[in-house]
Structure 1
Amino acid sequence: MAELRAVPSGDESPEGVDPNARLADLLRQSSWGDEGAFSQLYDAVAPRLYGMVVRVLRDPAQSEEVTQEVFLEIWRQSARFDPDRGSALGWMMTIAHRKAVDRVRSAAAAGRRDHGYHEANQDVDYDSTAEAAQASLEAERVRKALQTLTPAQRGALELAFFGGYTHTEVAAMLDLPLGTAKTRIRDGLIRLRDTLGLSS
């Protein structure tokens, strides 16, 4: 896959065929090394996955690169897809979101390294240092609290709050009814609140 090619909207399926079942079947065939099936899978979902990535990265060039990484991961991990645990599209969208977030974190880490010397040699007043330390402790508490959620709750919350997606968009990405997506987000927030000891 040298470059991200123009593809159709991603919603086309042969008449009478369940799109989710078709994607799951293409994933299964891809896991057997069927390049033709993988090409069909690419054409079917590339617009959705690229759209997810570009929403996170806000950079078309980087988004194309990350989308290629996503498809490489899908090709390598296709045998791990379990239709009993969710839809094929939801599984692939989760990979896309994770890869995009990883790129953001990698870029942030590189930026911190680039500015590390400068920051280390700046005079920082005590209040700023204390505030930064407190923020770091709070972030660690939140990270640990997130690990107490179920994978379903955590995935929905990450899309809604870190990805900036609406409940309707989260439901579409995870191939869930809107009410189910809202319930996962609400239950996840309640569990986070209780874990962090916050009042309602």
Structure 2
Amino acid sequence: MLGRMVIDGVDVPEDGPASDHAADLLVRIADGDQQAFAGLYDMLSSRVFGLILRVLGDRSQSEEVLQEVFLEVWQSASKFAPNKGQGRSWVLTIAHRRAVDRVRSAQSGRDRDVRVGMRELNTPVESVAEAVELRIEGRRVAQALTVLPEAQREALTLAYYGGYSQSEIAALVGAPLGTIKTRMRDGLRRLRTEMGVTS
């Protein structure tokens, strides 16, 4: 059963292919309509915040990223193409990208701190070798992901970095569940090939 909400005085379904109210609002936002922006924020901010919080796991950082997402929506609404997808999915994609960027930035800072800390400590050779091996493996996975088609990379990233189920990913990207399963299966197969995994 679809959730319902009131936007601009009209009772509309929260989800569903028949009414992409977010797309209508984005078109108005591209023309500088502040009321449309407020309506889009009211409509999607809790869902966007939930997605960001799931990726980051930190409430204050998630609030910062939420602001960044809606600033980007305001500034780049003209880039949204209604004929190429749902408005809600477009906003959620921006949110996911921003959250992942924040994770990468934080990880980069932590890696830098670890490197400095390791120089200052008398770390046993085995620990250093193990840490280096893990970093190299992480880089190999990240590099292998870049060769996948966008749809496969998106599905795998949402699943493994975002922690989403296949059903949740289908809802997020607006694709059938069977399509998401196929994308993930094919993506994992190609990822194994790229990394030289034979088992």
Q: What TM-score do you get using the length of structure 1 for normalisation? A: 0.84
Determine the C-alpha separation between the residues in 1 that align with 2:142 and 2:27.
Answer: 34
Describe the shift of the 1:79–1:183 C-alpha distance in structure 2 as closer, same or farther (beyond 3 A). same
> Which runs of 5 or more structure 2 residues have no equivalent in the other structure?
none
> Which runs of 5 or more structure 1 residues have no equivalent in the other structure?
1-8
Q: What TM-score do you get using the length of structure 2 for normalisation? A: 0.85
Matches within 5 A, 1:24-173: 24-114=23-113, 116-173=115-172
Which residue type is aligned with residue 41 of structure 2? Answer: Y
Determine the C-alpha separation between the residues in 2 that align with 1:10 and 1:146.
Answer: 37
Partner of 2:118, secondary structure, is: helix
Describe the shift of the 1:142–1:106 C-alpha distance in structure 2 as closer, same or farther (beyond 3 A). same
Describe the shift of the 1:135–1:11 C-alpha distance in structure 2 as closer, same or farther (beyond 3 A). farther
The percentage of aligned residue pairs carrying the same residue is 46
The 8 Å contact of residues 10 and 45 in structure 1, kept in 2 or not, is answered as no
Determine the C-alpha separation between the residues in 2 that align with 1:108 and 1:16.
Answer: 40
1:175 aligns with 2:174: yes
Determine the C-alpha separation between the residues in 2 that align with 1:174 and 1:122.
Answer: 46
Describe the shift of the 1:182–1:83 C-alpha distance in structure 2 as closer, same or farther (beyond 3 A). farther
Determine the C-alpha separation between the residues in 1 that align with 2:66 and 2:4.
Answer: 15
Describe the shift of the 1:144–1:117 C-alpha distance in structure 2 as closer, same or farther (beyond 3 A). closer
Determine the C-alpha separation between the residues in 2 that align with 1:187 and 1:128.
Answer: 35
The 8 Å contact of residues 5 and 12 in structure 2, kept in 1 or not, is answered as no
| Superposition RMSD in Å | 2.2
Determine the C-alpha separation between the residues in 2 that align with 1:51 and 1:101.
Answer: 14
Determine the C-alpha separation between the residues in 1 that align with 2:29 and 2:4.
Answer: 18
Query: Residue 106 of structure 1: CA displacement?
Result: 2.5
Describe the shift of the 1:87–1:33 C-alpha distance in structure 2 as closer, same or farther (beyond 3 A). same
1:19 match? 19
The 8 Å contact of residues 73 and 91 in structure 2, kept in 1 or not, is answered as yes
Partner of 1:33, secondary structure, is: coil
Describe the shift of the 1:131–1:112 C-alpha distance in structure 2 as closer, same or farther (beyond 3 A). closer
Describe the shift of the 1:57–1:82 C-alpha distance in structure 2 as closer, same or farther (beyond 3 A). same
Deviates more, 1:78-87 or 1:166-175: 78-87
2:188 match? 189
The 8 Å contact of residues 50 and 64 in structure 1, kept in 2 or not, is answered as yes
Partner of 1:46, secondary structure, is: helix
Query: Residue 173 of structure 1: CA displacement?
Result: 1.1
Query: Residue 91 of structure 1: CA displacement?
Result: 1.5
The 8 Å contact of residues 10 and 47 in structure 1, kept in 2 or not, is answered as no
Count the aligned residue pairs: 191
1:198 match? 197
Query: Residue 126 of structure 1: CA displacement?
Result: 2.1
Query: Residue 58 of structure 1: CA displacement?
Result: 2.1
Describe the shift of the 1:88–1:34 C-alpha distance in structure 2 as closer, same or farther (beyond 3 A). same
